[in-house]
Amino acid sequence: DVRSRNSAALVSKKWLCVERSTRSSLTLRGNARDLFMLPSCFRSVTHLDLSLLSPWGHPLLSSSSPPDPALFAQLLRHSFPHLHSLILYSRNPTAIHLLAPHWPTLTHIKLVRWHQRPPHLPPAADILPIFQYCTQTTSLDLSSFYCWTDDIPPAFKAYPKVAQNLTSLNLLNPSFPEGFRAQEVEEITKACPNLKNLFIACMFDPRYIGFVGDETLISIAVNCPKLSVLYLADPSALLNARVDPE
């Protein structure tokens, strides 16, 4: 595990060199303004987590974060040239706009935002840069990303080829108060016919117009014949804390 690797690296210089050159996953912590502390010895990292950098809750790459956001993005690219998986805290689209062009070969992207979506943003503003620059994306995780249901279908329509490449899509997001309605689910599955894993929050209550019923489930099976994992959940189930059955 990571802790054992770190402990061994502290007592053995030879193991330190091996550990630094073979580590494939890394989570960065600390203040994004401290560029001099950015590690450059993990050249083999393929999975990078940037969701825990401080000041947490503020845009990662903005005029108030690093001294030069563009420089910070270039330094990240230089330090981690072989990334395939990225987790990013994205308060606004600025960070993904600056970072995505530097890693066009990303295949898995997870966006994190626990704050409310900026109301002035146009639909899909946070997701479009991913599809624009990272055309090899096969996995998109928005389960921890505060956004609107209206943000998802427009991104797939704007970049249909990238949407067709997706094999895993996670939309189990508690920020969707009513979940995706039947028409939206059909649009998403039709745009992503090669999905193998689909996690999505849906509106099941028949009292509401557009609730997900048997017809929608059939359309999912027809639109995504390669599905092996399908998880549909009511948004209320995502908000309620798990209770001890005893």
Domains in the chain, start-ordered, CATH in brackets? Answer: 24-239 (3.80.10.10)
CA atoms within 13 A on the CB side of 63: 0
What digits encode the pLDDT tens for the residues 109-167? 999 998 888 888 999 999 999 999 999 999 999 999 999 889 999 999 999 999 999 99
Render the burial of 219-246: b for 16+ CB within 10 Å, e for the rest: bbeebbeebeebebbbbeeeeeeeeeee
**pLDDT category of residue 30 using cuts at 50, 70 and 90:** confident
Answer whether 0.75 is exceeded by the pTM. Answer: yes
Radius of gyration of the chain, Cα coordinates, nearest whole angstrom: 20
Token pair of 166 as six digits: 């997706």
What digits encode the pLDDT tens for the residues 69-116? 888 889 999 999 999 999 999 988 988 999 999 999 999 999 999 888
CA pair distance 52, 79, nearest whole angstrom:
18
What digits encode the pLDDT tens for the residues 181-219? 899 999 999 999 999 999 999 988 788 788 888 899 999
Token pair of 88 as six digits: 């990013």
Q: Report the run of H or E that residue 145 belongs to, with start and end.
A: strand 139-145
- How confident is the model at residue 66, as a pLDDT? 57
CA pair distance 155, 188, nearest whole angstrom:
10
3-state secondary structure of 221: helix
Kindly state the average pLDDT of the residues 16-44: 83
Q: What angle separates helix 13-22 from helix 2-11, to the nearest 10 degrees?
A: 140
